[in-house]
Structure 1
Amino acid sequence: MLLTTFFILFTLSSTTPTKVTSHYSSSSSEPSPSQQSSPSFSEWRSARATYYAAIDPRDTVGGACGYGDLNKAGYGMATVGLSEALFERGQICGACFELRCVDDLKWCIPGTSIIVTATNFCAPNYAFTSEEGGHCNPPNKHFVLPIDAFEKIAIWKAGNMPLQYRRIKCRREGGVRFTVTGSGIFISVLISNVAGHGDIVAVKVKGSRTGWLSMGRNWGQNWHINALLQNQPLSFEVTSSDGKTVTAYNVAPKDWSFGQTFEGKQFDY
């Protein structure tokens, strides 16, 4: 029987299509020197995974991280929803993981791994215990994959599958992207296509007539501020979870408008 796991999807207004690098790996290579310097990145840890079958194109739209249409955003099906024990209330959005199937010779595809980006949240289901159907209930570390990704490392009949995971550096094409939405003095900015650690912990914005203004996390990787910033070029200062900061000066021109996406400086990786 086809096992389908459902998880919360949040809708977001459409954004300008962008290209984001995401990929599958056919082998479990050793971490790079930069990854080896961080134990949390080089260490394989145990978890489990299920999948969902996208039967409708709208299933790729939404997500608790706010990226909108994942195909148009460039993430495609190399994405994952995380259980509460991993989701970190949305701060983990944009982070990259390498997953490999283990301990199941019947269902695992030997020598394979996949690389996915965290884009969604798998909500707990307290009608079941964490051992009996509540796959995403605390304290379970659980990944929910599109079936396309799941089948890169295991046969779909595996169902609720044991696996190993580790954080890895994200590789992206182009710069960090800033999608500006809102109305009037309410400014919301979606941060996407982030290389390196991938997840963002702080954002500041600066107009040509203001100093640096701290933005608050609205949800996922959507950041907001109440400020009158129209008719002035915008600069952004973005800090990732490893403490690194990049500053993108004047990425939005003076005549920017809501709904536009701009590209700035990228993190090293």
Structure 2
Amino acid sequence: MGKHFLRLFAVLSVCFAPVKSDWLPATATFYGGVDGSGTMDGACGYGNLYNDGYGVNNAALSTTLFNDGASCGQCYAIICDESKAPQWCKPGTYVTVSATNFCPPNWSLPYGGWCNTTRPHFDMSQPAWENIGIYSAGIIPVLYQRVKCWRSGGVRFTINGFNYFELVLVTNVAGSGSIKSMAVKGTNTGWIQMSRNWGANWHCLSALVGQALSFTLTSTGDQTIVFQDVVPAWWQFGQTFTTYQQFDQ
């Protein structure tokens, strides 16, 4: 491992606020085009990644990292492993990506089915990947670490579903980046526990139309925040409501 790589490694260890302290080996490819437009939407349920607070530095995770959607929104610092492929790495560089999609096992990637069930793999947006890798490589060995997420503004809630089925998409989550548990309270109800439906979408089977809504969220960093009356009683399905509250764990 070269001296330059060791210096970068030391700098990264100081700059990032790690959620997990170890740097771990993985591989990385890219998708979505030179502008990253092909990475919009995805298995986490986010739509326009700019509107939802994630931008173009994003990645689809292999099965072992995706964790059935529980990893949606988490952030990872990634560096190209120069000790294994110096010819394919851009020295002295790193990138931080948000998990926004799932890379299915044996997905037809341009360079083979790298998204199997056990190998940690990041299928990154092309702009993010090209921060650390040489385009012609296609796939590179990397080292990664979960790090704290930084977002602009507060947590956002998008209300979907119909009648007795409320489906709430939670976006723009800072701190650990992901949600461990969630509950909702209407003007005329007590707290109702919600279940992860898919990705960053949570649901409950209750009649909440016409009531102001409050949410309590616990992050995977074990920080709990109550978002009191963040959704007014006149809400309609399909609307998004932005808060001023945010996680730091």
Residues 260 and 237 of structure 1, relative CA distance in 2, 3 Å threshold: same
TM-score between both structures, scaled by the size of structure 1: 0.81
- How far did residue 76 of structure 1 move? 2.4
Please tell me the residue identity of whatever aligns with 2:194: M
Please tell me the residue identity of whatever aligns with 1:54: G
- Give SS of 1:43's match: coil
Match of 2:13 in 1: 30
- How far did residue 31 of structure 1 move? 4.2
- How far did residue 30 of structure 1 move? 2.5
Matched, 1:70 2:49: yes
Please tell me the residue identity of whatever aligns with 1:80: A
Correspondent of 1:188 among 158, 167, 189: 167
Matched, 1:241 2:224: no
Matched, 1:109 2:94: no
Mapping 1:84-233, distance limit 5 Å:
84-102=63-81, 103=83, 104-125=85-106, 133-233=112-212
- How far did residue 69 of structure 1 move? 2.1
Residues 230 and 117 of structure 1, relative CA distance in 2, 3 Å threshold: same
TM-score between both structures, scaled by the size of structure 2: 0.88
Paired residues of 2:75 and 2:177 also in contact (CA < 8 A): yes
- How many residue pairs match? The answer is 237
Please tell me the residue identity of whatever aligns with 1:111: G
Deviates more, 1:180-189 or 1:72-81: 72-81
Paired residues of 1:60 and 1:71 also in contact (CA < 8 A): no
C-alpha separation in 1, matches of 2:107 and 2:168 = 34
Q: In structure 1, list runs of 5 or more residues that go unmatched.
A: 1-26
- How far did residue 186 of structure 1 move? 1.0
- How far did residue 134 of structure 1 move? 2.7
- How far did residue 242 of structure 1 move? 2.1
Residues 260 and 88 of structure 1, relative CA distance in 2, 3 Å threshold: same
Paired residues of 1:60 and 1:69 also in contact (CA < 8 A): no
- Per-residue displacement from partner, 1:98-153 (whole Å, max 9, x unpaired)? 0001122212111111010000111012899xxx9331113211100111111111
- How far did residue 57 of structure 1 move? 7.8
Paired residues of 2:161 and 2:237 also in contact (CA < 8 A): yes
- Give SS of 1:89's match: helix
- How far did residue 58 of structure 1 move? 6.2
Paired residues of 1:170 and 1:196 also in contact (CA < 8 A): yes
Residues 210 and 188 of structure 1, relative CA distance in 2, 3 Å threshold: same
Identity of aligned residues (%): 45
Deviates more, 1:75-84 or 1:51-60: 51-60
Residues 186 and 172 of structure 1, relative CA distance in 2, 3 Å threshold: same
Matched, 1:254 2:233: yes
- How far did residue 72 of structure 1 move? 3.2
Matched, 1:47 2:26: yes
- Give SS of 2:226's match: strand
- Give SS of 2:68's match: helix
What is the Cα-based RMSD across aligned positions, in Å? 2.4
- Per-residue displacement from partner, 1:34-80 (whole Å, max 9, x unpaired)? 63xx5x2x211100001114279862332000001223324221000
Matched, 1:266 2:237: no
Q: In structure 2, list runs of 5 or more residues that go unmatched.
A: 1-9
